Structure 1
Amino acid sequence: MRNAVDGDEEEEEEEDDDDDEDDEDERRNRRKEEKERSKERGINSIKEIESFRIEKRISDDLESF
């Protein structure tokens, strides 16, 4: 009977290891997604700044006429 109990404990440890690997994969995926989102936000910010500069230049040009 002792062997059966030991076998169950080994199975639980293997499942825990799999869960740890899954958790680590999820953390990696979340970090990757966060990096992509922050990169997109940065690109969007640059585009907004460029748009503002263009609009400002156009409005300045129109005022000079």
Structure 2
Amino acid sequence: MDTLPGLEAGTRTERTEWRIIVNPDRPAARWISHHHTRESVELAARQYAVPIRIERRTVVTYTDEWREG
């Protein structure tokens, strides 16, 4: 099932983001940037001399087709 109840006429959009998490086991952990491919995030991660973690995140958006007129 690709739609939520009430959004049968809507559109489901899905995109994947890859994020670099700097100092993932510290309270000050933060994510630096998001990329669209695993290769690009690995290339960007090479510049950090601190521990990092690479995360994959899928963002799903539902849009209805309603128009106000």
Same fold (TM over 0.5): no
Q: Which has the higher contact order (CA 8 A, sep 6+)?
A: 2
Q: Which structure has greater strand proportion?
A: 2
Larger proportion of helix: 1
